[in-house]
Amino acid sequence: MTKASPAELYAYVKQNAPVIENYIETLAAFGSQPEGGIVRPVYSTQWFDAHKQLAAWMQEAGLEVRADAVGNLWGLSRGTEAGQGYASGSHLDTVKEGGKYDGALGVLAALTAIRFLKELYGAPRLPLEVVALCEEEGSRFSKSFLGSRAITGNMPVEELDQSRDADGISVAQAARNCGFDPDQLAAAQRTDLAGFIELHIEQGRLMEAAQVEIGVVEAITGIKHLRVVFEGQADHAGTTPMDLRSDALVSAAQAVTKINELAREFGRPAVATVGKLSVEPGATNIVPAQVEITVDMRHPDPATLEQLKQRIVQISEEAAAAQGGSVKIDLLMERQAAPMTPEIVNMISSSAEELGLKNMPMVSGAGHDSQVMVEKIPSGMIFVPSCGGRSHSRAEYTPIEEILPGIALLAQAFYRLAY
């Protein structure tokens, strides 16, 4: 086997840009909407057709193809030596009217990286695999990360029947409709992988602002979701003096403003977002009696995230008291931060330097399959830019010239790990 040159590898990736572009555009047609965007929920006809197309491409690349119990699609390049191998991939499902890069690009990057390495240098020393994971977004069923949780053994078997879509169809039933066998869930777990790398678009504007080619993800942020319900008193809007009111909406408005100010005070990468607001009774001539808001707060440091939460609780209580009302606060969801594996992070960073790619360390503010995988498998992430930071949108776009550095980096990392 010829020893690889990073420059040679990068040149080969650039030379094969049309292959990558064809993969992206062909895959994007599955679930494409006339008005733009893609609708490709897991186990749908569109998803399954895309699944079959990927399987065909994997076979064309000389990979051994199989699907596990929940429909994760694997393509294996066997190693010339015995030992644990490495995998890369992302998810195939989309949000409603999503773009062609979120998730799908990571799968295609892994496929092309392994394909190009095989074409240049033959079979790897250790096994390499591409995986198309199922149901990352949670856009069909009530739970997300179905595929990666099955792989890591964190998927309760009862969830297959309990988790249902809007039509009452369970995960197990939908999987069987595609020919998978959810009764074999335990067999989907992988304990033989030495590492996992996920390539993904950034879904933000930090890389674009810094003018870098690669983001090396050091951690995926922690998340807490709160439901905050402000209670006031419904009164006639014309006959109740301002100084005698207990207006729940005024309490909520004060809290929303101060929550925004608080996150700015904490500084990057802290964020806090009020994403929903409902008003009761919701009439023009009635003082609002109850207002419910949701708060999404994120930070990669657990102590800082908890401090942010406590300050938001305090802000909400003070805003309610100022109007003579009360407040009830519930924790809807909590997801711990997920640091990536330092050895994988450092290897990605040094590989970027070998390729001469301008890069920066990053914290991902969005959730990814890697945060599940890293619980059991050493993992890392590579970001490529998103134009304008657009994602989960039909406007999502990353030009091919900004994709190629990421694929070259993934190939270089795989070469170092497996060749």
Task: Using DSSP, state whether 92 is helix, strand or coil.
Answer: coil
Task: Pick 222-335's CATH classification: 3.40.47.10, 3.60.21.70, 3.30.559.10, 3.30.70.360.
Answer: 3.30.70.360
Contact in structure between 180 and 135 (CB atoms under 8 Å): no
pLDDT tens-digit map of 239-293: 999 999 999 999 999 999 999 999 999 999 999 999 999 999 999 999 999 999 9
**Confidence band for 1, pLDDT divided at 50, 70 and 90:** low
Confidence (pLDDT) at 286: 98
Spatial separation of the C-alpha atoms in residues 207 and 200, rounded to whole Å:
13
Element (H, E) at 175: helix 171-177
pLDDT at 143 over 90: no
pLDDT tens-digit map of 373-417: 999 999 999 999 999 999 998 999 999 999 999 999 999 999 999
pTM here is 0.90
CA–CA distances in Å: residue 411 to residues 133, 183, 383: 20, 35, 14
pLDDT tens-digit map of 145-172: 999 999 999 999 999 999 999 999 999 9
6-220+337-418 and 222-335: identical CATH topology: no
How big is the chain by its Cα radius of gyration, in Å?
24
pLDDT at 59 over 80: yes
Spatial separation of the C-alpha atoms in residues 364 and 204, rounded to whole Å:
9
Spatial separation of the C-alpha atoms in residues 175 and 397, rounded to whole Å:
31
pLDDT tens-digit map of 4-18: 689 999 999 999 999
* Domain 6-220+337-418 CATH superfamily: Zn peptidases (3.40.630.10)
pLDDT tens-digit map of 73-115: 999 999 999 999 999 999 999 998 999 999 999 999 999 999 9
What does the domain layout of the chain look like in residue ranges? Answer: 6-220+337-418, 222-335
pLDDT tens-digit map of 188-238: 999 999 999 999 999 999 999 999 999 999 999 999 999 999 999 999 999
Confidence (pLDDT) at 175: 97
pLDDT at 364 over 60: yes
- The 10 Å Cβ neighbour count of residue 177 is 13
